[in-house]
Structure 1
Amino acid sequence: MTQKRNKRAHLTIEGRVQGVCFRAFTAETARREGVRGWVRNLDSGDVEAVFEGTESAVSKVVAACYKGPPGALVTNVKLKWPEYKGEFETFSIRY
């Protein structure tokens, strides 16, 4: 039997990522994959997100963030893999 490994990802997404529905796109993708966490805009113009879930689900959401929604232009993604905490019950957009 294969055990599903839980992972946590912390991303800072740079480029044209505000004003293009990036947060809504990210939230929809995360919820569809069963990933928990949050996404928010930063004053710098970047978007920050934290994802928790199974390794495969988190990887899918992370991959989607490298492209983003139509209208976005992702120029860089800073990706860290901190220790899984299991602290979220849902996925939310933070303001």
Structure 2
Amino acid sequence: MNKAVKLIIQGRVQGVGYRRWFEQQAIELELKGYVKNLPTGEVEAVVVGDELIIQELLQRSWIGPSRAEVSQIIQTPVQLELNIQDFNILC
């Protein structure tokens, strides 16, 4: 069953290739949604897909690309949006 989750990823996650890395992981896992930088220095992602696959992405998100240092990930359920067709990096 599909679900949608918003993640706020905190730590050193901007300027280290985190969004591109996250996009690659999400596409590999066949998830839909987006990832973007926030003005607060955090990264926001919304992912849609199977709950177990989302949990796999969440585990990977703690590691991130080599220069990233993730200190916290806040996970919030969100309404499933039917118009999400693929995974994108937003500006």
Instruction: Give the TM-score, by structure 1 length.
Output: 0.89
Counterpart code for 1:65: S
Instruction: Give the TM-score, by structure 2 length.
Output: 0.92
Moved over 2 A (4+): 82-87
Q: Which moved more, 1:34-43 or 1:56-65?
A: 56-65
Match of 2:57 in 1: 61
Counterpart code for 1:31: I
Match of 2:17 in 1: 21
Q: Across the two proteins, how many residue pairs are aligned to each other?
A: 91
User: What is the SS of the residue equivalent to 1:78?
Assistant: strand
Query: What is the rounded CA distance, in whole Å, between the counterparts of 1:63 and 1:72 in structure 2?
Result: 14
Q: Which moved more, 1:24-33 or 1:75-84?
A: 75-84
Aligned 1:1-80 pairs, distance under 5 A: 5-80=1-76
Higher-Rg structure is: 1
Aligned sequence identity (%): 32
RMSD of aligned alpha carbons: 1.1
Gaps of 5+ in 1: none
Query: What is the rounded CA distance, in whole Å, between the counterparts of 1:64 and 1:37 in structure 2?
Result: 16
Q: Structure 1 residue 86: deviation in Å?
A: 3.2
Gaps of 5+ in 2: none
